[in-house]
Structure 1
Amino acid sequence: MSQTAFITGATSGFGKAVAQRFAREGWSLVLTGRRKDRLDALVEELGGQERALALCFDIRDETETRSALASLPAGFRDIDVLVNNAGLALGNGPAQDCDLDHWKTMIDTNITGLVTITRLLLDTLIARRGLVVNLASIASNWPYPGGNVYGGTKAFVRQFSLGLRSDLSGKGVRVTSIEPGLSESEFTLVRTGGDKAAYDRLYAGANPLQPEDIAETIHWVASLPPHVNINSLEIMPVSQSWAPFQIHRETT
């Protein structure tokens, strides 16, 4: 019997790689994003509309989200796995220099959009004894200069995942927080406003994680026996580790 995965932010990066990985195992897929051309191309790549369904909407908008879910045809309504991948970072400067609109956009996408889609699909996931995979970040656990609101949103995602797991005790629903470190994707181009030079500097010689690495991890989580739950999983490339604590010294 085919299972169905619902993947948010499927137009690039982790989301696209997760869709490709699950498609190879014969899953039915619901793919969401705001770039219709990319969604349509991905649907065709993965076998057409019998295998994959594109839902183009802004996850920050509850009305659009409800309408998109209401439009699901019968063959795609029984969601077994929800992958909450849609998210972004905007800017990497210190808090005192940041754009407040950027902060609000991150909160609306990374927190409000995630909890909205989760709540609207939760009854189905309970009925299917399904799995929720939330994409957090090492920024959930470790602060760094310029992380400010982005890190705060991902800390929420991690804690929400743990709280959701607690609330769903006895329901058979698994919940996992995936927390990647340095990863190469469009994420960094979005964060830097399309600065390709900054993108190249960040990844040069670092051998960062690739979207396929995270997709493989998520597929592994989904393929575990139904009595096994991975609560949270922090993943870094070997090249990345923890820096010393900052110490600011006064000068006279």
Structure 2
Amino acid sequence: MTDLQIERERSSYNISGGCTALIVICLLGKLYVANAGDSRAIIVRNGEIIPMSSEFTPETERQRLQYLAFMQPHLLGNEFTHLEFPRRVQRKELGKKMLYRDFNMTGWAYKTIEDEDLKFPLIYGEGKKARVMATIGVTRGLGDHDLKVHDSNIYIKPFLSSAPEVRIYDLSKYDHGADDVLILATDGLWDVLSNEEVAEAITQFLPNCDPDDPHRFVPHWPHMANSCLLKNKNCGHGGWHL
């Protein structure tokens, strides 16, 4: 409903762009974690890391995106192919065999290259560089109703879903200590630090705080986050700061 409301009101309120969404609701002894995008939630319980979300990117949702393009080829604007190849296909490779993947394939197979395969792939790039239609690197979220492929009239929104994945954590099934935490963060953190690095920083930081202070995280979090980020080999002086 929120995404539909954004679509209805985007002209009246000048709503442009979009965002990912990661929310947590605590209800009747359970945590409901809903994620639409590439943010991440983890629980650190007695040193154990419990993932509470999946990240939705062109790579993780490849089959959904390819299937949609296969069923509705007009969405590709005659500029893209829904098939995936290990690299861009060149005209000189027409008639030759190359590995490819379709929506119904988890592995790779060979096909003979045709003219249609010369089009730009729906999903291109690897890892954080993977993009849908060479434009966006996240496949779920809110907004982006007016997002188009550069210099074209091809809308990308049909490939972007606002439906979240919801995971449930039953608090009553486990014993929890004062230093057990739920961590929510965007890819700004997870791009440079692993779950293990964040969990280690948290477990080193919390014992220095008063467990009875409900606000113990607030004044110290920026310092802890900066220290955590600066430990990463890619973050030296002049790097990340909060």
Whether TM exceeds 0.5 here: the answer is no
Structure number with greater CO (CA < 8 Å, separation at least 6) is 2
Q: TM-score, normalised by structure 2?
A: 0.26
Q: Which structure shows the higher strand fraction? A: 2
Q: TM-score, normalised by structure 1?
A: 0.26
Q: Which structure shows the higher helix fraction? A: 1
User: Greater CA radius of gyration, 1 or 2?
Assistant: 2
